[in-house]
Structure 1
Amino acid sequence: MTDFGNQYMVFREEKKTHTKVRPPSFKNIQEGNEPRLAVIRYFLDRPGYGLHNSVARIWFDPPEICSPAHVSLFLKQQDIALPGLLVEVYLDKFQSFMLIEGCEASGIEWDFSESSPQNPGILNIRLTDLQSPHWQEDLSLSFKPSMIASTAGSTATSQSSKSLGDSMPTASHCNEKKGGPEHANSVPLGLFSFSLMVGLETTALMGTLFPGSVEPSFRLAWGPYMFFVGGLLQVIVGTLQVFRNNLYGAVAFLGFGTFWFSNGTESILEVYFASEGTVAESLLEGPVDNVGSFVRVLFVFLFTCALWKQTFLMSKLSTALISLLCAKLIVHAFRLLRDDQDGALAYMQLIIGWLTSAFAFWMFLVEFTNGVYKKQVYPTYKWSEEHSPEEVFGASGNVGTLQSKAARLRQAKFLNYHRKVHTSLPRGEKFGGCDVSENKGDNGELTTTKDTSKTS
């Protein structure tokens, strides 16, 4: 056993141990052919992690001369080499770690010819998180547990003729799926809804500033429009963005959808349910709660400022729209606080409102047209051509972060689980250095025969 220095604890002490490994087949042992066995120990390259708290996987019958390609295949089959992880192998002769691709290029191999269940070979693997912004999203899109489950439960079919290694996620598979799930982009509909609501809200303000310009009957439609077109429609759009992993669109439309729901409910109650003698009628006759309304609009303004900060990862169009909205909200908030019904703040809100509505409609046109034509018909003015998304009102979020990566690695698939999968594979498919046959040993377990072909 190689001495790893002060960083690692020495595991193989000269004392009696109680761990014993039962080989998967006794047929070869009875014939005098003791199976090979290797232990793969892996850990995350993080503070506090090392060989002293590593996780082990048993590799039954590895190739006698094991190449880096064999190790990579085994790690992928065990769901250990997740996309976005740097895989390094400890080289005992050099007492250092080396990237597994570097081992392949350098012609490094590992000799397991003398390994056995009583004296297993050991490979130590260090996994480093590259912290790629897309790796978790790509993993969620490329890894389909149902595919493995269906293969394990079915008999040999044309679909199960692929090797298990081919069905596991790889970096190339992830790169092919970076576009995300094929769901229609509902953001244009949300942008149009937002443009319409701001426009109708500004129209209602015009009725206050310019008496007679808007008929009183406008309020009959204004409340239902806020409730359904502003609230319900934007909540639906935000919910659909959740399935597309558009974190920005989901937060924005779900947030403003509920705001419009509340405003619409208030307007409907005022118009349709404030009859004489009701509580609503008595409240409407009382003083206006300017301070409460100011606090409400102020919180919406702070929410919008958080959205504004994120737009610098997207497009300049989004930044301009949210900037206009922030200006409109802060003017509205102070107008409520000062009870300015027809003063300078009211006229400022009127002008900024129409600008916001018009700009939101332009963004709807840009997003809708570019999506239909599947190319950039109208420029989106990205902040970064390299990192900004193609959509003007969208940014993806992390996926699968409710469980730590360390926990997922500890729950990587066991080899025994893969044996069930191999029962559905046709004869001749390989796992490690063994051919999977359909014969069963005396103990009823699947038997393996040695691979006598030349190792590539």
Structure 2
Amino acid sequence: MSNEQSSTRFSNPAPLGLAGFALTTWLLSMINAGWFTADSMNLVLAVALAYGGTAQMIAGIMELPRNNTFGATAFLSYGAFWWSFALFVLFLHDKVPGAFVGWYLFMWGVFTFYMWIGSLAAARVLQMVFLALSITFFLLAAGEWTGMSVLHVAGGYVGLLTAAFAFYLSAAEIINEAHQRVVLPIGAPTAAR
């Protein structure tokens, strides 16, 4: 590797991916929490395809040359989640049993739970994003399985909290880098990577 290549500094794609995730999660969670009806879903789908899915895919690909397996896996996976969610709602929603949708959500919860375990070596705010998202998926899955709307609403509210954590982390990474100091704390990593 030449000196020119070894000194190349790649920009941090995490704020982009986190913002795409946060905005889309916030919009969907407002519907899940009952603030808006399903009539608002078309805007969520547009954002899921154009920002939530695409921005996270771009961020995930940008993590690859940075050798960040965790970031690449997280952003590419949740980007794919938003694309699959939009495709499901657009084309398959009335063709899939609710119990199977519950399994879809539950397995995303399982993935998110082990990503949370992986995040325990990272900043505390990132840990909170993955913990809250795990709970969101499990509540929404339980709501699909039981038909209890209170679980779906609870999942919506925890989803709003998830989005708030992700927005905060995105903002902190942008603002802290721009000012070259800690303006918004994110909590020191709990262990060395």
TM-score, normalized by length of structure 2? 0.88
Query: What is the aligned partner in structure 2 of residue 231 from structure 1?
Result: 53
Secondary structure, aligned partner of 1:204 = helix
Correspondent of 1:266 among 66, 88, 91:
88
Name the residue aligned to 1:359.
165
1:381 shift after superposition: 1.4
Higher helix share: 2
Once the two structures are TM-superposed, the CA of residue 267 in structure 1 deviates from its matched residue by: 2.6
Does residue 197 of structure 1 match 2:24?
Answer: yes
Q: How far did residue 258 of structure 1 move?
A: 0.6
Paired residue for 2:141, among 310, 327, 333? 333
Cα distance in structure 2, aligned partners of 1:267 and 1:315: 34
Letter in 2 for 1:369: I
Contact 1:335 1:346 in 2 (8 A): yes
Based on CA coordinates, which of the two structures has the bigger radius of gyration? Answer: 1
Structure 1 alignment gaps of length 5 or more? 1-143, 148-166, 168-176, 270-279, 389-456
- 1-side partners of 2:8 and 2:117: how far apart? 26
Q: How far, CA to CA, are the matches of 2:88 and 2:30 in structure 1?
A: 18
**Whole-angstrom CA distance in 2 between matches of 1:191 and 1:236:** 11
- Size of the aligned set, in residue pairs, is 191
Q: CA deviation at 1:215?
A: 7.6
Structure 2: runs of 5 or more not aligned: none
Q: Flag the structure with more relative contact order, 1 or 2, with Cα contacts below 8 A and sequence separation at least 6.
A: 2
**Aligned equivalent of 2:67:** 245
Q: Distance in 2 between matches of 1:294 and 1:266?
A: 13
The partner residue of 1:294 within 90, 93, 102 is: 102
Q: Is the 8 Å Cα contact of residues 54 and 79 (structure 2) preserved in structure 1?
A: yes
Distance 1:199-1:375 versus aligned 2 partners, 3 A rule: same
Task: Go from structure 1 to structure 2 and tell me whether the alpha carbon gap of 1:380 and 1:256 turns closer, same or farther (over 3 Å shift).
Answer: same
Match of 2:111 in 1: 303
TM value normalised by structure 1: 0.39
Checking the alignment, whether the CA contact within 8 Å between 2:126 and 2:166 is kept in structure 1 is no
| Greater strand proportion | 1
Identity %: 23
- What is residue 321 of structure 1 aligned with on the other side? 129
Q: Deviations over 1:118-166 (max 9, x none)?
A: xxxxxxxxxxxxxxxxxxxxxxxxxx1xx5xxxxxxxxxxxxxxxxxxx
Q: Say if 2:140 and 2:155, in contact at 8 Å, map to a contact too.
A: yes
> Does residue 172 of structure 2 align to residue 350 of structure 1?
no
Q: How does 1:211-226 map to 2 (within 5 A)?
A: 213-214=36-37, 216=39, 218-226=40-48
1:305-342 CA-partner distances (Å, limit 9, x unpaired)? 121111121111111111111111111111111122x3
1:71-220 alignment to 2 at 5 Å?
144=1, 181-206=8-33, 209=34, 213-214=36-37, 216=39, 218-220=40-42
Aligned to 1:381: 187
How far 1:298 sits from its partner (Å)?
1.6
